[in-house]
Amino acid sequence: CPGLLAPYKGVDLLVCAVAMLKKQNISNFVCHITGEGQMKNRLHRMISREKLDDVVILHGVLKEEEYCRLVEHIDILVAPGRNEPWGIRVNEAIQRGQAVIVSDKLGASTLIEKSGGGAVFHSGSVFDLCTKLKPFLCSSQSLTMAKKSNLIYKEQISCVVAAKRLHEILLPVKERIEGK
């Protein structure tokens, strides 16, 4: 989970979902959280209180090369935002072929619905986030299918496709302005 450690980013929901998974004896993963922000100390306390030091790592802000090395080994991106207009990290994860779990209050959730490369959970619901993460942590087949789906879908959100679509949208406007 990359990004700002602020309440609207929902990282605390992810930590709570990880605690719930651990209580269900699902701990075959490491949750990497990058970034800084006002919730850093609260997240440290939550991780300590729930005894998650073995499965949750708060990295802070990473230099670009460190971040790139980290994401090379990531299977699932989680974007648990409580309310965000888009979330470019979702596009980036699809491009890398990672499974993606996002909140339904993240504008980019439509990409996951279309790609089939992950799951969308109800914003603010730790239980639903936990439920949506579980299949990808417990079934290598589910994880592999989601990753493959995103690799296939990535062409649909490439820069070239986006530029062509923008051109299609703007061309009629230009023609109306020019009186054609």
Question: Which pLDDT tens digit goes with each residue over 30-49?
Answer: 999 999 999 999 999 999 99
The answer to whether residue 180 scores a pLDDT higher than 80 is no
Question: In the predicted model, what is the mean pLDDT of residues 4-14?
Answer: 97
SS3 letters for the chain?
CCCCCCHHHCHHHHHHHHHHHHHCCCCCCCEEEECCCCCHHHHHHHHHHCCCCCCEEEEECCCHHHHHHHHCCCCEEEECCCCECCCHHHHHHHHHCCEEEEECCECCHHHHHHHCCEEEECCCCHHHHHHHHHHHHHCHHHHHHHHHHHHHHHHHHCHHHHHHHHHHHHHHHHHHHHCC
Q: How confident is the model at residue 63 (pLDDT cuts 50, 70, 90)?
A: very high
Question: In the predicted model, what is the mean pLDDT of residues 64-69?
Answer: 94
pLDDT exceeding 90 applies to what percent of the chain? 82
Tens digit of pLDDT for each residue in 116-174? 999 999 999 999 999 999 999 999 999 999 999 999 999 999 888 888 888 888 888 88
How many Cβ atoms from other residues are within 10 Å of residue 122's Cβ?
14
The answer to whether residue 18 scores a pLDDT higher than 90 is yes
The pLDDT value recorded for residue 74 is 97
Indicate the pTM of the whole model.
0.90
The pLDDT value recorded for residue 162 is 82
Question: In the predicted model, what is the mean pLDDT of residues 1-24?
Answer: 96
Tens digit of pLDDT for each residue in 67-88? 999 999 999 999 999 999 888 8
